[in-house]
């Protein structure tokens, strides 16, 4: 209202009963200068506190409704409460204030209600005044929100956002998550991906994710976090088409469209359940042995898709073929086992279900990462058909344990072990298991009779590491009786470093 504190003190001095109120108001006006969020809302609250005192003064001067006597206590209580709350808000760091703006807004609304109660005591509050502050408040909420969007989407604020959010306190991780949540919900309000606001939000959010090494709190990516590049898939497997995508406007990603599954309520539920597992695996592994999921999308096309970082080195099979002499095979075999250990370590264990070289990608350092874990379970759950019997999966029969190919076709950690050993053979020979057998049906028959693949004797396969002890280990993994197979922990013990 443009008055100095001295002027305000003088304004109420003639009425001794309002001295305390005037003092509180001065405190509120000072505090108001130090507020970092909800500025418009807070200023309005300050001004209405002033209005309350002016009304009290006028009422006393005109001796209406018995003056201020009856209302004095309520007025002082109300102003004290506002001042205390406001003091609390100024004590918050900028990040904390940001993260608690909804709470602050609610507090402000409650304070307004208390002021209205005081005004009622003078019997002069009118519906007009109530409507007026509410209208004004709604406008201020919008203005404050707009300021937040502008702040979050401004690239020039990136360093400050990172510094304030990852401040090294014990709350840091929680803060990062909450800030990311705010980014995602803001993006959801500004979905137009070409929009400057969306671009800025994406960019700042990407930096936050990259620098904090966390994944997004809401893995249902329905706010334009991912854009498809190109109309056609760049590759695919039996169950999936793979498209290129751009994640948060920055990083190239693989978009994996699950063809066996329609986007609908039940698939959404299933994904939501799965997401907890993804996040937990990420927390434990940080992308060292298992390719992370960045999220899934349900409302972009008829089929849901999953999003993973793009791995330019391709899958394990093409990699060993291209870089045969550069590859450390022992390390690769061990790396794959360590990835499987991450999954089997979970409580309950996560069954991969489709381990083979095509489902293992190679990171920038040449290390293998297990991809698409748990996908088999998702498909099974949503379609109600065992994964092993679903469309196009017969490609994988050469890696499947015999108990998987018959009857119910239950996948288990034991069938993962069987497939792991087939994958080791595949990586060492550069060829699919049972390479001399053309028909998959024949492979299924052979494996169900306990006839494991013939031992390859080529010198290059031996050079890559297939010695007697590894061969013996692989054969144990191929035991017809699942319970006789070693666990992943035993395998890791036995593998040479
Ligand atoms: C506002 O912030 C300044 C600088 O941090 C500080 O010196 C001042 O005491 C604060 N004012 C109030 C009323 O807390
Ligand atoms: C104020 O009004 C009350 C009655 O409403 C009356 O008793 C009192 O004398 C008045 N006081 C003054 C200062 O006029
Ligand atoms: C959802 O899709 C799955 C297969 O993709 C189907 O089995 C199921 O019946 C669908 N549910 C609804 C409610 O449409």
Closest by CA position to 333, among listed 204, 400, 425 = 425
Contact 456, 466 (CB under 8 A): yes
Which residue's alpha carbon is at the smallest distance from atom 1 of ligand 1? 34
* pLDDT tens track for 56-106: 888 888 876 666 777 888 999 999 999 999 999 999 988 889 889 999 999
In 239-309, DSSP assigns E strands to 240-247, 251-258, 295-297, 305-309
- 63 C-beta closer than 6 A to ligand 2: yes
Q: 144 alpha carbon to ligand 1 midpoint, in Å?
A: 22
For ligand 1, pick from 5, 25, 34 the residue to mutate: most ligand atoms within 8 Å of CB: 34
For ligand 3, pick from 259, 265, 266, 303 the residue to mutate: most ligand atoms within 8 Å of CB: 266
The CB density around residue 357, as the number of other CB atoms within 10 Å, is 25
The ligand whose atoms approach the alpha carbon of 64 most closely is 2
Cα–Cα dist 2/29, whole Å:
11
Whether the pTM exceeds 0.85: the reply is no
Q: In 154-292, which residue ranges form alpha helices assigned H by DSSP?
A: 158-165, 172-189, 196-212, 265-285
**Any idea which architecture 314-494 has in CATH?**
Orthogonal Bundle (1.10)
What integer pLDDT is reported at residue 266 of this predicted model? 80
Q: 24 alpha carbon to ligand 2 midpoint, in Å?
A: 27
- 266 C-beta closer than 6 A to ligand 3: yes
The ligand whose atoms approach the alpha carbon of 67 most closely is 2
What integer pLDDT is reported at residue 66 of this predicted model? 62
Kindly state the helix (H) or strand (E) to which residue 360 belongs, with its residue range: strand 360-362
Which residue's alpha carbon is at the smallest distance from atom 5 of ligand 2? 66
- Peptide bond before residue 348 is cis, with ω within 30 degrees of 0: yes
Diameter of the chain measured on Cα atoms: 109
- φ/ψ of 211, rounded to 5, equals -75, -35
Which residue's alpha carbon is at the smallest distance from atom 12 of ligand 2? 63
- 299 C-beta closer than 6 A to ligand 3: no
Contact 433, 422 (CB under 8 A): yes
- 383 C-beta closer than 6 A to ligand 3: yes
The ligand whose atoms approach the alpha carbon of 28 most closely is 1
The ligand whose atoms approach the alpha carbon of 65 most closely is 2
Q: 7 alpha carbon to ligand 2 midpoint, in Å?
A: 28
Return the CATH number of 226-309, one of 3.40.50.300, 1.20.1440.230, 3.30.200.20, 3.10.20.30: 3.30.200.20
Cα–Cα dist 23/371, whole Å:
65
The CB density around residue 178, as the number of other CB atoms within 10 Å, is 18
Q: 264 alpha carbon to ligand 3 midpoint, in Å?
A: 6
Q: 119 alpha carbon to ligand 2 midpoint, in Å?
A: 20
The residue written with tokens 């506002």 in the block is: 82
Q: 277 alpha carbon to ligand 1 midpoint, in Å?
A: 46
For ligand 3, pick from 257, 259, 260, 262 the residue to mutate: most ligand atoms within 8 Å of CB: 262
- 31 C-beta closer than 6 A to ligand 1: yes
- 262 C-beta closer than 6 A to ligand 3: yes
What integer pLDDT is reported at residue 238 of this predicted model? 66
Which residue's alpha carbon is at the smallest distance from atom 14 of ligand 2? 63
Name residues whose C-beta falls within 8 Å of residue 253's C-beta, 6 or more positions apart in sequence: 226, 244, 245, 246, 247, 294, 307, 308, 309, 310
Contact 394, 370 (CB under 8 A): no
- 261 C-beta closer than 6 A to ligand 3: yes
Task: Work out the angle at residue 469's Cα, subtended by the Cα atoms of residues 464 and 474, and round it to the nearest 5 degrees.
Answer: 80
Q: 262 alpha carbon to ligand 3 midpoint, in Å?
A: 6
Strands 360-362 and 305-309: unpaired
Contact 307, 256 (CB under 8 A): yes
The ligand whose atoms approach the alpha carbon of 298 most closely is 3
Radius of gyration of the chain (CA): 32
Q: 266 alpha carbon to ligand 3 midpoint, in Å?
A: 7
Low-confidence ranges of the chain (pLDDT < 70): 1, 64-67, 123-126, 238, 390-392
Minimum-distance ligand 1 atom for the alpha carbon of 33: 1
The residue written with tokens 């793009």 in the block is: 310
Which residue's alpha carbon is at the smallest distance from atom 2 of ligand 3? 262
What integer pLDDT is reported at residue 268 of this predicted model? 80
What integer pLDDT is reported at residue 103 of this predicted model? 94
Q: 129 alpha carbon to ligand 2 midpoint, in Å?
A: 27
Closest by CA position to 346, among listed 414, 410, 280, 412 = 280
What integer pLDDT is reported at residue 67 of this predicted model? 64
Which residue's alpha carbon is at the smallest distance from atom 5 of ligand 1? 34
Which residue's alpha carbon is at the smallest distance from atom 6 of ligand 2? 66
- 216 C-beta closer than 6 A to ligand 1: no
Q: 66 alpha carbon to ligand 2 midpoint, in Å?
A: 6
* pLDDT tens track for 369-384: 999 887 777 777 777 7
Determine the 3-state secondary structure of 275 from DSSP.
helix
Q: 34 alpha carbon to ligand 1 midpoint, in Å?
A: 6
């Amino acid at each position: 209202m443009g008055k100095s504190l001295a002027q305000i003190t003088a304004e109420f001095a003639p009425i001794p009963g309002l001295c305390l109120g005037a003092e509180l108001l001065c405190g509120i006006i000072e505090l108001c200068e130090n507020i970092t969020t909800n500025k418009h809302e807070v200023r309005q609250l300050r001004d209405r506190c002033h209005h309350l005192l002016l009304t009290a003064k006028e009422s006393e001067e005109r001796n209406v409704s018995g003056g201020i006597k009856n209302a004095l206590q309520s007025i002082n209580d109300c102003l004290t409460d506002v001042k205390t709350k406001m003091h609390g808000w100024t004590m918050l760091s900028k990040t904390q204030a940001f993260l608690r703006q909804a709470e602050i807004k609610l507090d402000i609304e409650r304070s307004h209600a208390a002021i209205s109660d005081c005004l009622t005591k003078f019997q002069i509050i009118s519906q007009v005044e109530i409507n007026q502050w509410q209208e004004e408040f709604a406008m201020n909420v919008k203005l404050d929100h707009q300021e937040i969007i502008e702040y979050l989407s401004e690239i020039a604020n990136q360093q400050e956002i990172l510094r304030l959010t990852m401040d090294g306190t014990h709350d840091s991780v929680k803060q990062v998550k909450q800030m990311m949540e705010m980014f995602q919900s803001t993006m959801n309000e500004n979905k137009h991906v070409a929009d400057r606001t969306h671009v800025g939000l994406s960019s700042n959010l990407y930096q936050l994710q990259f620098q904090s090494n966390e994944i997004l709190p809401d893995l249902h990516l329905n706010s334009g976090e991912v854009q498809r590049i190109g109309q056609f898939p760049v590759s695919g497997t039996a169950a999936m088409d793979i498209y290129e995508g751009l994640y948060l406007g920055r990083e190239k990603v693989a978009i994996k469209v699950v063809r066996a599954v329609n986007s609908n309520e039940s698939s959404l539920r299933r994904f939501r359940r799965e997401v907890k597992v993804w996040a937990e695996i990420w927390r434990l592994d940080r992308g060292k042995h298992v390719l992370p999921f960045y999220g899934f999308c349900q409302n972009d096309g008829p089929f849901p898709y999953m999003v993973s970082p793009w791995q330019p080195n391709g899958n394990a099979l093409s990699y060993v073929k291209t870089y045969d002499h550069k590859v450390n095979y022992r390390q690769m075999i061990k790396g794959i086992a360590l990835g499987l250990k991450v999954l089997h370590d979970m409580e309950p264990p996560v069954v991969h279900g489709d381990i083979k070289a095509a489902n293992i990608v190679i990171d920038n350092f040449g290390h293998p990462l297990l991809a698409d874990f748990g996908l088999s379970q998702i498909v099974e759950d949503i379609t109600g058909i065992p994964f092993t019997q679903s469309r196009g999966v017969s490609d994988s029969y050469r890696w499947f344990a015999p108990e998987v190919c018959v009857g119910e076709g239950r996948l288990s950690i034991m069938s993962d072990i069987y497939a792991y050993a087939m994958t080791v053979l595949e990586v060492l020979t550069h060829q699919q298991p049972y390479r001399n057998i053309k028909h998959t049906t024949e492979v299924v028959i052979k494996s169900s009779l306990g006839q494991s693949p013939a031992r390859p004797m080529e010198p290059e396969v031996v050079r890559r590491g297939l010695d007697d002890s590894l061969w013996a280990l692989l054969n144990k993994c191929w035991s017809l009786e699942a319970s006789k197979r070693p666990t992943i922990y035993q395998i890791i013990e036995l593998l040479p470093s």
